[in-house]
Amino acid sequence: MALTSSQQMEILSKPGGKVFSRAEPRHKQDIVRLLKDMGEIVAMTGDGVNDAPALKLADIGIAMGITGTEVAKEASDMVLADDNFSTIVSAVAEGRSIYNNMKAFIRYMISSNVGEVISIFLTAALGIPECMIPVQLLWVNLVTDGPPATALGFNPADVDIMQKPPRKSNDALINSWILFRYLVIGSYVGIATVGIFILCVAPYSVGGRMITFSNPCDYFSVGKVKAMTLSLSVLVAIEMFNSLNALSEDNSLVTMPPWRNPWLLVAMSVSFGLHCLILYVPLLADVFGIVH
């Protein structure tokens, strides 16, 4: 305690564990305060009354549930019911998994929505008719995207979740690299959706007979229905596969296979089933302006 603050920080910043003996309550507070000043996230464990001030000061105060005093428990954020330090490791893994699942939900929804925005922008920029009408976009956003996005909340923890270094408290939820990934995914979603529309919005044949219209304008109200149907189907399909892309931020599907989260596979099946429902039920097909 006779050292200067810079010397104290230098000692604390060296790698390896450190033992402080005969520490008074104020010393524990000083150590916690120094670590926080260094930008660290500090967890403090304790069981006695003299630990309470440092437990309160720490980012995460952890009291012993069996041997801990009531004062220590009241001052803490977390109580170890079994007084087992390995439980802290399990709690950290669970917390990281919850955070990753939040990011997976955001990653899926934003990248999918970027793709829809790009598809609308491309049709306007190219001067072609819209490849989807508003009710179809609403259907994709509110219904078919919903089950996979919800299922991503049940993702199991990454296999290497405890090998990763702790994230800083000021780390952004979406950094520049993640934003770049969103834009790349959104770009190919949008390009694929508009691309299939451009390929199919041309006179097509049924049973070898070319379909034409006496009034060319009728083509864009009746004839483009097939192309719109394919655009919608491509968008739904590619967003289902995009949900697999959102399973893990860093691991591939080899390391994190889809069956690790069976709820996601069920959700994808539900979304595909709902899409087939509006395709093949005539009343719904009329409502959504599509054909089987």
Q: How far apart are the first and last CA of the chain?
A: 78
Distance CA 268, CA 205 (A): 32
Give one word for 290, left, alpha or beta, with left for phi > 0 and alpha for psi -120 to 50: beta
Q: Which of 3-7, 73-77, 124-128, 145-149 has the lowest mean pLDDT?
A: 124-128
Mean pLDDT of 206-213: 54
Mean residue pLDDT of the chain comes to 86
| DSSP for residue 64 | E
Fold that domain 98-288 belongs to in CATH: Calcium-transporting ATPase, transmembrane domain (1.20.1110)
Q: How far apart are CA 224 and CA 211, in angstroms?
A: 12
With bands split at pLDDT 50, 70 and 90, how would you rate the model's confidence at 206? Answer: very low
| Lowest mean pLDDT, pick from 26-40, 102-116, 202-216, 266-280 | 202-216
What is d(CA 118, CA 191) in angstroms, rounded to the nearest whole number?
8
pLDDT digits (tens, 9 = 90+) for 90-142: 988 999 999 989 988 988 888 888 888 898 888 888 887 788 888 988 888 88
Beta carbons of 183 and 114 less than 8 angstroms apart:
yes
At 205, is the pLDDT very low, low, confident or very high (cuts 50, 70, 90)?
A: very low
Average pLDDT over residues 174-190: 87
Return the percentage of the chain with pLDDT > 70, whole number.
92
Question: How does DSSP classify residue 45?
Answer: E
- Which CATH code of 3.40.50.1000, 3.30.420.40, 3.30.70.2470, 2.60.300.12 fits the domain covering 20-84? 3.40.50.1000
Tokens describing residue 239: 């967003």
Instruction: Give the pairing type, strands 205-206 and 209-210.
Output: antiparallel
pLDDT in the model for residue 98? 92
Percent of the chain clearing pLDDT 90 (strictly above):
24
Task: Using alpha carbons, select from 221, 192, 183, 203 the residue that is nearest to residue 122.
Answer: 192
Bigger pLDDT: 38 vs 171: 38
Place of tokens 């995460």: 60
What digits encode the pLDDT tens for the residues 29-77?
999 999 998 888 899 999 889 899 999 999 999 999 898 899 999 999 9
**Domain extents for the chain?**
20-84, 98-288
pLDDT at 219: 64
pLDDT tens across 234-261, in order? 999 998 988 888 888 888 888 888 888 8
| pLDDT of amino acid 79 | 92
- Which range (26-40, 193-207, 269-283) has the least confidence? 193-207
Q: Which helix (H) or strand (E) holds 259?
A: none
161-177 average pLDDT score:
82
Complete DSSP assignment for 176-227? HHHHHHHHHHHHHHHHHHHHHHHHHSS--EETTEE---SSGGGGGTTTTHHH
Compute the distance between CA of residue 192 and CA of residue 199 in angstroms, rounded to an integer: 11
* Edge-to-edge strand ranges of the sheet holding 78-80: 43-46, 60-64, 78-80
**Mean predicted confidence (pLDDT) in 139-166:** 86
CA distance 146 to 77: 34
Q: What pLDDT shows up at residue 223?
A: 65
Q: Which sign does the torsion angle of CA 167, 171, 174, 177 carry?
A: negative
Provide the token pair at 18.
């450190």
The confidence score (pLDDT) of residue 215 equals 67
Q: Is 182 left (phi over 0), alpha (psi -120 to 50) or beta?
A: alpha
Q: So what's the pLDDT on residue 24? A: 87
CA 177 to chain centre: 14
